[in-house]
Amino acid sequence: MSLRLSLGILLGFLLSAPAFADEAAALVFFSGNPLLTAESGAVRPLRKGDSVASGETIDTVDGRVQLRFRDGASMSLQPGTQFRVDSYRYSGNGAQAAAGDGVIMSLIKGSLRTVTGWLGKQDRKQYRIGTTVATIGIRGTEFGASMDGSGLTVTTYVGLVEVCSEVGCVDVAPAETVWVRSPGVKPELRSGLESGGLKTEGMMPATPVNREAMPLQQPTQPVQPMPNAAPPYNMPPMHSPPTSP
């Protein structure tokens, strides 16, 4: 199954579920002068108390940004990072995600580290982070990712991450790192947290992550499909790679 088809199915789930406000995450902390670009293209500085909705892009510029998603996930963005929430729906109430829930995000450039929440915990098809060279899927985990001119680097700290390019998928276990230099190259698995330049120091708070989800808001309007949510290449289905005999 192509990446476009799998993302299309996920978008279908998002659009078929009951309509809730499209707020995805609350701004927990920021430093420097980060910017928020709305779906309309309007750009403004991030402010205390802001939230991030579907279709909005964060540019950390010279600062750091920490987000808390409605399903209990936590994410920290490094300086020089551009990150977009393409589509987001979570209809749970501090509990397991529903069948129609899901999130599609894009790491355009820079570095992030995240502890995932309910989305993707039971059904990994509900969770995708796309880049120009590969996509990241999870099974309930903590991981870091960095996207720059050399490609995508992903390191798993807790749980299991699946990274897929056009030609193959690799499961990344704790203390392992995978590097994808281009869409047509299979992810290259490394061991021993060889992060390849992935900077994670100071990206996550020292205090434990609170996994209680933010309160749901009342229904407002349906989430609109994101025309640029899918990266421009096809990808095989998310699955574990075959073991060698």
Residues 6+ apart with CB under 8 A from 83: 57, 58, 60, 77, 105, 106, 107, 108, 110, 112
Give the residue from 56, 23, 112 showing the smallest Cα distance to 226: 56
Q: Is the pLDDT of residue 179 over 50?
A: yes
* Inter-CA distances, 127 with 10, 108, 136, 225, 240, Å: 9, 17, 8, 16, 16
Count of CA atoms in the C-beta half-sphere (13 A) of 195: 16
Q: Are 101 and 19 in contact (CB under 8 A)?
A: no
Lowest mean pLDDT among 22-26, 90-94, 235-239: 235-239
pLDDT value at position 49?
A: 86
Answer whether residue 45 shows pLDDT above 60. Answer: yes
For 197-237, the pLDDT digits (tens) are: 455 444 444 333 333 333 434 334 444 444 444 443 343 44
Q: What is the average pLDDT value for the chain, to the nearest integer?
A: 78
Share of the chain above pLDDT 70, in %: 69
Q: Kindly indicate the confidence band of residue 1, based on its pLDDT and cuts at 50, 70 and 90.
A: very low
Q: Which residue is listed with tokens 């590969």? A: 134
Three-state SS letters, 155-221: EEEECCEEEECCCCEEEECCCEEEEECCCCCCCEEEECCCCCCCCCCCCCCCCCCCCCCCCCCCCCC
Window from 11-15, 57-61, 166-170 with minimum mean pLDDT: 11-15
Predicted pLDDT at 11: 44
* Class of residue 148 by CB neighbours under 10 A (exposed 0-12, middle 13-18, buried 19+): middle
Rounded CA gap, 199 and 85, in Å? 22
Token code pair at residue 66? 């920490």
Q: How confident is the model at residue 160 (pLDDT cuts 50, 70, 90)?
A: very high
pLDDT band at 48; cut points 50, 70, 90: confident
**Can you name the residues that pair with 148 across neighbouring β-strands?**
151
pLDDT at 111 over 80: yes
114, pLDDT greater than 50 = yes
Vertex 119, ends 223 and 229: CA angle to 5°?
A: 45
Q: Is pLDDT larger for residue 65 or for residue 226?
A: 65
CA distance 51 to 21: 12
Q: Average pLDDT, stretch 60-74?
A: 96
Q: What distance in Å separates the CA atoms of residue 116 and residue 72, rounded to the nearest whole number?
A: 7
